[in-house]
């Protein structure tokens, strides 16, 4: 029964086109349903933009980034990892960086909307509490989807759904979670993220010397650069795009960025993680603490 509902929604959504956003708690089948909608879209001959806004369990592009991919054939769906455009958020949990998360997603949805018949937004499982709801509210506000599909167990999404229906014109549909959906353990999630960072930092890595003036947010002249060691950065071009990830390295008085996407680099956006390039494990950092020594 659930299977039929999902298949019907995928076919109807693909036929209608426009922007659709999938929301739901972790492990509710958002990514799987995104694929199903896009498979139907390809069959219906639609040009599709897939915006992967899940910065923790990324399908398109590296973790910490929102990625855009054009989908025009079934083959494209088998090979989603390479993004055509990226926007860096800087964390694997959007709860900490709501502004960056919302803007990164909305910017790529706009790029998608300009050229594709169908834009599919896959989101993170952050849906509850003040932060999760604020995130979804502003995503709705800026991405302006014609349809939101909320996957829910029981009535868990009702608060978010009620809020979106009250404040916005887009249609909000609910679907039950398929009972076959298998939860991914925290350990598996962390291993998947590590594998994602390993790909983002695969060879050929280069070390580029960087001036302290290239950062956003800017860093103060008096900062002890050793504090920046290992900090994750988005490598930016001069048109707002992220080219990929880098990690800062401070050694013998010289600040460098280690990256495999330094061609065309115009600046670096500071992320809120430190990455160990030996094992690709990450740790949260508080930028304010790094910059000013304040622990809040």
Site residues, ligand ATP (CB under 6 A):
24, 26-32, 54, 57, 125, 178, 180-182, 184
Cβ-based nearer residue to ligand ATP, 45 or 179: 179
Beta carbon of residue 80, minimum distance to Mg ion (angstroms, whole number): 12
Asked if 5 is part of the footprint of Mg ion (rule: CB under 5 A), the reply reads no
Stretch that binds Mg ion, among 3-11, 29-37, 98-106, 243-251 (CB under 5 A): 29-37
Cβ-based nearer residue to Mg ion, 176 or 267: 176
Cβ density class 119-136: b for 16+ within 10 Å, e for less: bbbbbbbbbeeeebbebb
Beta carbon of residue 128, minimum distance to Mg ion (angstroms, whole number): 16
Cβ-based nearer residue to ligand ATP, 32 or 229: 32
**71 contacts 48 by C-beta, under 8 angstroms:** yes
Beta carbon of residue 24, minimum distance to ligand ATP (angstroms, whole number): 6
Beta carbon of residue 29, minimum distance to ligand ATP (angstroms, whole number): 4
Output the CA torsion 40→43→46→47 (10° steps): 90
Question: What span, in angstroms and rounded, lies between the C-alpha atoms of 109 and 72?
Answer: 17
Give the residue, chosen from 2, 5, 31, 93, that forms a contact with Mg ion under the rule CB under 5 A. Answer: 31
Nearest 5 degrees, angle CA 19-CA 20-CA 22?
Answer: 150
Residue 89, token pair as written in the block: 């958020």
Beta carbon of residue 168, minimum distance to ligand ATP (angstroms, whole number): 22
Position of minimal CB gap to Mg ion: 31
**90 contacts 272 by C-beta, under 8 angstroms:** yes
Which of 211, 261, 210, 256 is CA-nearest to residue 234? 261
Note the residues at the interface with Mg ion (CB under 5 A). 30-31
């Amino acid at each position: 029964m659930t299977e039929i509902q999902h298949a019907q929604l995928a076919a109807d959504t693909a036929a209608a086109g426009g922007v659709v956003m999938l929301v739901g708690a972790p492990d509710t089948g958002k990514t799987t349903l995104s694929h199903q909608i896009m498979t139907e879209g390809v069959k219906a001959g639609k040009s599709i933009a897939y915006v992967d806004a899940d910065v923790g369990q990324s399908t398109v592009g590296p973790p910490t980034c929102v990625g855009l991919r054009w989908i025009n054939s079934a083959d494209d769906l088998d090979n989603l990892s390479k993004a055509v455009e990226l926007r860096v958020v800087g964390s694997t949990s959007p709860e900490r960086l709501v502004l960056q998360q919302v803007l990164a997603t909305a910017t790529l949805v706009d790029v998608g909307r300009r050229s594709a018949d169908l834009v599919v937004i896959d989101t993170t499982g952050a849906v509850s509490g003040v932060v999760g709801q604020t995130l979804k509210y502003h995503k709705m506000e800026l991405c302006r989807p014609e349809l939101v599909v909320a996957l829910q167990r029981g009535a868990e999404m009702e608060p978010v759904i009620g809020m979106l229906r009250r404040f916005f014109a887009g249609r909000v549909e609910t679907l039950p979670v398929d009972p076959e959906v298998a939860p991914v353990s925290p350990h598996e999630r962390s291993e998947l993220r590590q594998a994602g960072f390993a790909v983002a930092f695969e060879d050929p890595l280069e070390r580029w010397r960087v001036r302290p003036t290239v950062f956003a947010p800017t860093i103060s002249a008096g900062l002890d650069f050793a504090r920046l060691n290992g900090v994750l950065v988005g490598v930016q071009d001069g048109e707002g795009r992220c080219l990929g990830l880098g990690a800062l390295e401070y050694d013998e008085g010289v600040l460098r960025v280690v990256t495999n996407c330094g061609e065309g680099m115009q600046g670096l956006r500071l992320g809120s993680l430190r990455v160990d390039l030996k094992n690709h494990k990450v740790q949260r950092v508080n930028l304010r603490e790094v910059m000013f020594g304040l622990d809040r």
